[in-house]
Structure 1
Amino acid sequence: MTTTFTTEVYQNRFLPTGTTTVNAVVTVAAGGPAAPAAPDPSDVAQVLMVDCSGSMGSPRHKLAEAKKATMAAIDTLPDGVAFGIVAGRADATMVYPPDPVLAVADARTRTAAKRAVTQLTADGGTAIGTWLALANTLFIGHPAAFKHAILLTDGKNEHESPHQLAAALRACEGRFVCDSRGVGDDWSGTELRTVASALLGTADGLPDPAGLVDDFRTMTQTAMGKAVAAVSLRLWTPAGARIRFVKQVFPHVEDLTDRRQDVSARIGDYATGAWGAESRDFHVCVDVPAGAVGEERLAARVAVVSGDTVLSQSLVLAEWTDDEALSTRINARVAHYSGQAELAAAIQEGLAARDGGDTETATAKLGRAVQLAAESGHVDTANLLARVVDVVDARTGTVRLKRSVAGVDAELADVRSVKTIRVTKG
C-alpha cells in the first residue's frame, strides 16, 4: 500500500502592528488506508556495533546480555536484508561476516552470525568514531536505500578525541541512520545524543542489561518497517523573509536549522530521515517584513518531499491586526513545544554546569527544568530530575542539588532530556 503524507499547521496567524515573527507547529503524519508496506528486504541494510571493550566484562552478564540482544536482532532480520556485526574496542573489527562486506540474511547466515557473536570477548578500549567509520565503509559498498545501524556502548569515548568523533560523524552524516544506546552506569548521555543527532536516530540508556534484548528487537523491527527512505521538510519563504529556526519537537527535540540544504535562495530542505507509519511535529519560526493592518501574507510554504516529489504541503500565514484579543492569543501547540525545547536545554545546561562545579547555575537551570516538567505534565522527566535534585517546590522551581547522585541517573536525565510529549490538538 502506498504511503501517504499529510501536513497540518497550528498557529495564531494574527500579528500586532510592527511585529515580524511568525511561529507555527507543523504536524506531519505518514500512513495510508492500511499500514505502509515495508520495503523490499533487498533494499535494507543493517549494521550492529557492539562494545567489546574491557569494561563490558564487568559485571560478566553485561556482555552476555549484549550477545543475546545482538542475536535477537539478527533473528528479527527478514530474509534478504544485508547485515553485518562489528566489534568495537579501541579499533573496530568484523565479527560477521569476516570480510568487510555485508552478508545477506537467510537461515544459514543468521546461524553463522549468531555463532560468531557467541565468541565475543571483552578487552581493550573505546573509540566510537572508528566503529562508525567501519559501519560507513560497509554501507558505502551496498546499494540499499534503507540503511540502519545500532551502536551499543557501556563507556565513554576515552580512546579518541572529540574532534575525531566529530570527523567520523561528518563522514557518516546522510549515509545511514544510527540509534545509540548506553548500558550499565558509565556511559555519556551527551555522546549518545551527539551520535543520534548527527545520524537522525534515537538515543537512550539502559541501566539494566536485561533490557537490551527487547530494545534491540524493537529497534530492528522499527527499522524494517520504514516505508520511505529519505524524507525532507522543504520550506519556501517570500522575498525579505528569514528563517529563525526549524526544529523537530516531537517525538524528541532536534534542531534542524543548520542542516538546511539550499534548493534555491528562497527554498531549503531539512532532512528528517526515513519514515514508517508515524507522526512528527516541527516548529517553524520565520521573520517576515512588517505589514499594514488588515494585510495578509504567506509567511512560508511547508512541504514534505522525497527527492523532487512533493508528498504534502501546507501554508503558514501572517495577518496584521490592531485587535489585541486576536494578536495576543497564543496557540496551544506553539506554547507547549516552546516549553519542551526550553526544558531540554535547561536540563542539558544544568547538568553541564553541575559537572563543571557551577552549583549556582546548575541549581537555577535544573530548578527551571523541574518547573517546566511540572507545568507540561512530563512525569517521566520529573521523576528523572528528582534523582538529581531535591525538589522543594515544583511550582516555583525551587530545588537543591543532591550531594550524592548515581552517575547513571544524571546521564539518563541528559540522554532523555530531548524526549517530548505531545499536546492535545489546539
Structure 2
Amino acid sequence: MATFSKSNVPQFSVEVYQNECLPEGGREVNAIVTVTATGGGTTGGVAPLARTDTPARTDTGTGPGTGPGTGAGATERAPDAAVVIMVDCSGSMDYPPAKMRGARDATAAAIGTVRDGVAFAVVAGTHQAKEVYPGGGRLAVASAATRSQAKDALRKLSAGGGTAIGTWLRLADRLLGSADVAIRHGILLTDGRNEHESPEDLRNALDACAGRFTCDARGVGTDWEVKEVTGIASALLGSADIVADPAELTADFTRMMESAMGKEVGDVSLRLWTPQGAEIVFVKQVAPTVEELTGRRTDSGPRTGDYPTGSWGDESRDYHLCVRVPDAGVGQEMLAARVSLILPDAAEGGGPRPLSQGLVRAVWTDDLAASTSINPQVAHYTGQAELARVIQQGLHLRKSGDIDGATAKLGRAVQLAGASGNEGTAKLLAKVVDVVDATTGTVRLKAKVTEEAEMTLETRSTKTVRVKK
C-alpha cells in the first residue's frame, strides 16, 4: 500500500486484496482494490478544497466570481464548489399537491445546507428548463442574503407542462461550467417519465454532461421510470433513490446536500497500467454500490487507461478488477497491474498528480490448495454483483409474466443477500417474495406487491454491504 498527500487534499490510500496464485495455464487475475480518502479537512459541514489562487471574497452579490463567505467584510476563502438543484415542475407534480409542496420545502432545506461561499442555482424543469434563481445565466454565491433570496424565489414554483430531463441537465451544465471551481454537482428530482424528449435526446445530454459534473437523482412517488433515474445517476457518477412519500423529501435533500458539501476534491481517476500482453477484462465499483466502469476507460498513455471515480470526501470505496495475463510456467511471477489514483489537473497548474498506488501480482504455482483458494473480498463482491444482477433479472421476468424464472432469480437473490449479510436488501426482497428457506433460496412470489416495494427493490438493488474483514 502506498499513500500520497498534499495540503488541502485528502490523503488517499490503496489496499489490494487478491489471491495472487494461479494454476499452470491460469490467466485471469481478480483483485479488490479498496480506496480510502481521509483527513482532507472536511467531514460533513466543513469547507471543501479551496483554490489557492482565488482571492478572498468580501462583497455581496451573485455570479461565480463575486459574493461573500459571511457577508460584507468577510475574509474567509470560499469553498471550491458549485451546485445546481433541478426541480421537476411538470403538471404531474400537482397530483397530489403534496408533491409540489414537498419539493419546494425540500429545495429550501437543501439551500439552507449550502455553505457560505459555494456557488449555487435552482432550475425548474418541465418540457424546458428555466432558471429560478439567481437567473441571467449566473450562479449565486451562498450567504445568508442569497439563501434567503433563493427561498423566496421558490414560492413562485408551480406545476405545469411536460418532462424533458435532458434540457434540465444541459442548463445545469451551462451554469456549472460558468464557475471556475474544482467540484461541480447537481441534484435532480423528478416524479414522472421523460415523455417529452426521445431516449436518444436524454442519452446525448448525459454523454455531453458526463465528466463535467456529478449528479444525484431522486424519484418521488411511484410514477417515474426506475431505469431513467438510475441511468442518470450512473452516467453522472451520483446516487439514485426513491422517495415514495413527498413528506420525506426534506430529510433526503438535506442529506444529499450535506454529502455534496463534504466533497473535497473532484475528478479523481483510477489509472490502470498493465504489462505487455496483459489486458483489462473489467473494472467495476462494488461498494457502496455496483457501478460498471469498463466502458468508461480513457487511454492515458502506453498500456495505461483512466476510469472516472468522480468527487471524493472522507470516504472509502471498493473496486473489482479482472486482468487477463499471458500464460507463464510454474514458478514464474509478474506484475499484473499497477493501480493509481490520479488527480488529472493539479491545483497548482502542473500535470496529473498521483494520489496513491497499489500493485496486483500474478504467481504461477502447482500447489492446488494455493491456486484454488478464493480471496474472501473477491468472493464477497462477486456475490454482491450477482445479487444486483439477479434482482434486476427477476423483477423483469416477473413483469413479463415468467413466474418460474422470476421465482428462481429472486430466490437466488434471497440466498445471496442472506449469505453476505446484506440485511437491507433482504428486507426489501421480503416485500416481493415469501421466503421459505433463505439458505437454499426457496421462495414464493407474493400474489400482491405494491408498486412502491417493487420500485424500491429495483432502485436499491445495486447497494452493497462491505465485506467483513
> Smaller-chain TM-score range?
over 0.9
Report whether the alignment pairs 1:329 with 2:373. yes
* Contact 2:42/2:264, CA 8 A, preserved across alignment: no
* Contact 1:300/1:315, CA 8 A, preserved across alignment: yes
The aligned runs of 1:360-399 (5 Å cut-off) are: 360-399=404-443
The aligned runs of 1:264-279 (5 Å cut-off) are: 264-279=301-316
Relative distance call for 1:213 and 1:33 in structure 2 (3 A) is: closer
Match of 1:170 among 204, 207, 211: 207
Match of 1:355 among 392, 399, 408: 399
One-letter code aligned to 1:145: A
More off after superposition, 86-95 vs 266-275:
86-95
- What does residue 69 of structure 2 align with? none
Give the number of aligned pairs: 425
- What does residue 8 of structure 1 align with? 15
* Contact 1:187/1:411, CA 8 A, preserved across alignment: no
Report whether the alignment pairs 1:303 with 2:340. yes
- What does residue 285 of structure 2 align with? 248
Once the 2 structures are TM-superposed, how far is the Cα of residue 386 of structure 1 from its aligned partner? 1.6
Match of 1:407 among 451, 454, 460: 451
The aligned runs of 1:138-177 (5 Å cut-off) are: 138-177=175-214
* Contact 1:186/1:408, CA 8 A, preserved across alignment: no
More off after superposition, 390-399 vs 297-306:
390-399
* Contact 1:178/1:196, CA 8 A, preserved across alignment: yes
One-letter code aligned to 1:6: S
d(CA) in 2 for partners of 1:239 and 1:11?
A: 21
Match of 1:137 among 170, 174, 177: 174
d(CA) in 1 for partners of 2:158 and 2:299?
A: 47
More off after superposition, 81-90 vs 53-62:
53-62
Relative distance call for 1:65 and 1:148 in structure 2 (3 A) is: same
What CA deviation, in whole Å up to 9, does each residue of 1:254-286 have, x standing for no partner?
Answer: 011000010124100001001110111110100
More off after superposition, 6-15 vs 223-232:
223-232
- What does residue 24 of structure 2 align with? 17
What CA deviation, in whole Å up to 9, does each residue of 1:163-215 have, x standing for no partner?
Answer: 21111101110110000011112222221110011000000111122221122
Name structure 1 gaps, 5 residues minimum.
none
* Contact 1:82/1:103, CA 8 A, preserved across alignment: yes
Once the 2 structures are TM-superposed, how far is the Cα of residue 33 of structure 1 from its aligned partner? 8.4
Given the two structures, how large is their TM-score scaled by the length of structure 1?
Answer: 0.96
Once the 2 structures are TM-superposed, how far is the Cα of residue 35 of structure 1 from its aligned partner? 4.7
- What does residue 265 of structure 2 align with? 228
One-letter code aligned to 1:350: G
Report whether the alignment pairs 1:125 with 2:165. no
Once the 2 structures are TM-superposed, how far is the Cα of residue 59 of structure 1 from its aligned partner? 1.9
Relative distance call for 1:357 and 1:164 in structure 2 (3 A) is: farther
What CA deviation, in whole Å up to 9, does each residue of 1:227-278 have, x standing for no partner?
Answer: 1111111100011111110111111110110000101241000010011101
d(CA) in 2 for partners of 1:192 and 1:342?
A: 21
| Identical counterparts, % of pairs | 58
Match of 2:48 among 38, 56, 60: 38
- What does residue 243 of structure 2 align with? 206
SS of the counterpart of 1:3?
strand
Relative distance call for 1:33 and 1:208 in structure 2 (3 A) is: closer
What CA deviation, in whole Å up to 9, does each residue of 1:388-424 have, x standing for no partner?
Answer: 2222322222223223221121111111011000012
Once the 2 structures are TM-superposed, how far is the Cα of residue 354 of structure 1 from its aligned partner? 2.2
* Contact 1:186/1:407, CA 8 A, preserved across alignment: no
d(CA) in 1 for partners of 2:456 and 2:205?
A: 25
Report whether the alignment pairs 1:281 with 2:291. no
- What does residue 341 of structure 1 align with? 385
Once the 2 structures are TM-superposed, how far is the Cα of residue 355 of structure 1 from its aligned partner? 2.4
d(CA) in 2 for partners of 1:237 and 1:258?
A: 17
SS of the counterpart of 1:86?
strand
Once the 2 structures are TM-superposed, how far is the Cα of residue 338 of structure 1 from its aligned partner? 0.2
Once the 2 structures are TM-superposed, how far is the Cα of residue 119 of structure 1 from its aligned partner? 1.6
Q: Structure 1 segments of 4 or more deviating over 4 A?
A: 33-37
- What does residue 99 of structure 1 align with? 136
Name structure 2 gaps, 5 residues minimum.
1-7, 51-77, 345-351
Report whether the alignment pairs 1:112 with 2:137. no
d(CA) in 1 for partners of 2:37 and 2:105?
A: 33
d(CA) in 1 for partners of 2:126 and 2:39?
A: 43
Once the 2 structures are TM-superposed, how far is the Cα of residue 65 of structure 1 from its aligned partner? 1.5
